Amino acid sequence: MTYMKINDINLYYEEKGNPDGEKTVVFLNGVMASTSSWRSYVKIFEALNFKVILHDFKGQLLSDKPEGPYSFKEHAEESRELLKALGVKKAHFIGTSYGGEVGMKFAVLFPEMVESLILINSVSEMDESLRLFVEGWRQAAMRKDGEGFFWHLAPTIYHNTYLEKEREKLKRKAQAMNNMDDEFFQGQIALYDTFLKDIDMTDELHRIKAPTLIVAGENDLLKSIRFQEIMAKHIAGSEYVIIPDCGHVTIFEKEEELKTLLLGFVIKNL
């Protein structure tokens, strides 16, 4: 495993594809995810000679988990330091959920480094329903019961079609959660607290100048399409796509459709 120390925090990262490639894609994880969540997406960019960078934010699975809450500005700054150390001057950023929210903050703060931006199931603000969902996740994480934690979250993030189709796969994921230690749940709580404290960034979105694609799951209960509509309204020139029969975890639920969208948008903006 490869780590880089930034501000006394060890961030886990992976560098894939062509190390000398002139084209770079950066993937930014959802809150419960890790770099492995992007495995199938990495392959399509590797095949086209891209350099690909992935990392876990502090608080996530393989990175350090200092006491939170953090801020999206901190995540963006730490991502920038990682990229600079890896010799990346400009990149295409693809983020899902929490990762997309870090991507928005990054594009606001460091526009010179953003070639294009893709935001999947992300928000720039929250309402009471979203706040209660996340607070419920926080309470579930405090119990440190891996399988119970997974099944508490599952109905809020997966659409019913996916839950029915992939029941056995989800059972295996739930069982694997029993291997998570207390530190994992402490990190999750810090990330949830960060979201609850710091998500309001709609007023900053007009500062995003990079070509931007916003992707929404039509049936996303957690971060409904209303939020993506707000983002599309405030990011000038952005493109907005709604994927039908899809919940919050578009990267798993509609993998093939999303691959087409990501690859097409990035190549269009080379």
In the chain, the amino acid numbered 54 is: L
Q: What pLDDT, on the 0 to 100 scale, is given for residue 270?
A: 96
Neighbours of 261 (CB within 10 A): 18
Q: What pLDDT, on the 0 to 100 scale, is given for residue 148?
A: 98
User: pLDDT 10s digit of each residue in the chain, 270 long?
Assistant: 899 999 999 999 999 999 998 999 999 999 999 999 999 999 999 999 999 999 999 999 999 999 999 999 999 999 999 999 999 999 999 999 999 999 999 999 999 999 999 999 999 999 999 999 999 999 999 999 999 999 999 999 999 999 999 999 999 999 999 999 999 999 999 999 999 999 999 999 999 999 999 999 999 999 999 999 999 999 999 999 999 999 999 999 999 999 999 999 999 999
Chain centre distance of CA 236: 22
Q: How many CA atoms lie within 13 A of 114 on its CB side?
A: 27
Distance CA 37, CA 59 (A): 16
| DSSP three-state, residue 212 | strand
Q: What pLDDT, on the 0 to 100 scale, is given for residue 1?
A: 87
Residues 6+ apart with CB under 8 A from 141: 149, 185, 188, 189, 192
148 touches 177 (CB < 8 A): no
Angle formed at CA 194 by CA 190 and CA 195, multiple of 5 degrees? 120
Domains and CATH numbers, the chain: 3-126+199-268 (3.40.50.1820)
